[in-house]
Amino acid sequence: MTKRRRTQVRLGMPLLAVLGMVAAGCGTDRAGDDEAGAGASARATGRTPSAPVDFPCPGESPTPTPSPTGNTSAPATPPVDHYAENHGFMVPIPLHGQQRCDGLAAARRIEAALEPLRERGDFAPDSTRGALTALGYSAGSVQSYQNGSTGVGFLIDGQPMCLEGSMNRATVEADAFDGYPDHTGCDRPSGGH
């Protein structure tokens, strides 16, 4: 009997060892585990992308970027805003680097092209569309629509960027962006993830 029990115990030992390692979490990387050698090979290949670099574009005045300080009283993690989280799919993706400069230049060209229409009080969508196609945007990529009783809005799918804006009695505004998350095209999505 004694011999049989020892054999059963010996056969069960490797199983217990494996279960013990699984329960202890051996072989897993943990957040904040910065010890030398602990998961070093995994971290070396999984680099975090760097933040996009923005610089002053031609015609734009440089604005100082606030530098983060170590003496901030703000919490380390921002509070969870579920409305913003759930509607993030409707927030346009900003342009960065040279694309941002190209977008600002395109927006200025559009504003300049629509200014004569604004001065004349011509807020017809067809007139706006005509001015935008005269800039070289294809008719299929330009949408224009009545925006209230005295204004017009427009959207241009001007690959590689999106351009949108409005014109009314007081002003012409245009903005460039890089589309929307989880959505193709430049039109604002109506449903999210």
List the chain pLDDT tens, one digit each, 193 residues: 555 555 454 555 555 555 555 455 545 444 444 444 444 333 333 444 566 777 888 877 766 444 344 444 445 556 566 776 666 777 888 999 999 999 999 999 999 999 999 999 999 999 999 999 999 999 999 999 998 888 999 999 988 899 999 999 999 999 999 998 887 889 888 765 5
Nearest to 126 by CA among 110, 145, 109, 113: 145
Number of H helices and E strands in the chain, helices first, is 5, 4
3-state secondary structure of 106: helix
Tokens of 105: 């230049």
CA–CA dist 109, 105 (Å, integer): 6
Where are the domains positioned within the chain? 91-177
Q: Is the pTM of this model over 0.75?
A: no
Please name every residue paired with 172 in a beta bridge, in sequence order, or none if there are none.
Answer: 167
Task: Check: CB of residue 96 under 8 Å from CB of residue 176.
Answer: no
Q: Which pLDDT does position 63 carry in this prediction?
A: 61
Q: Which pLDDT does position 25 carry in this prediction?
A: 52
Q: Which pLDDT does position 122 carry in this prediction?
A: 95
Question: Locate tokens 């604005």: which residue?
Answer: 63
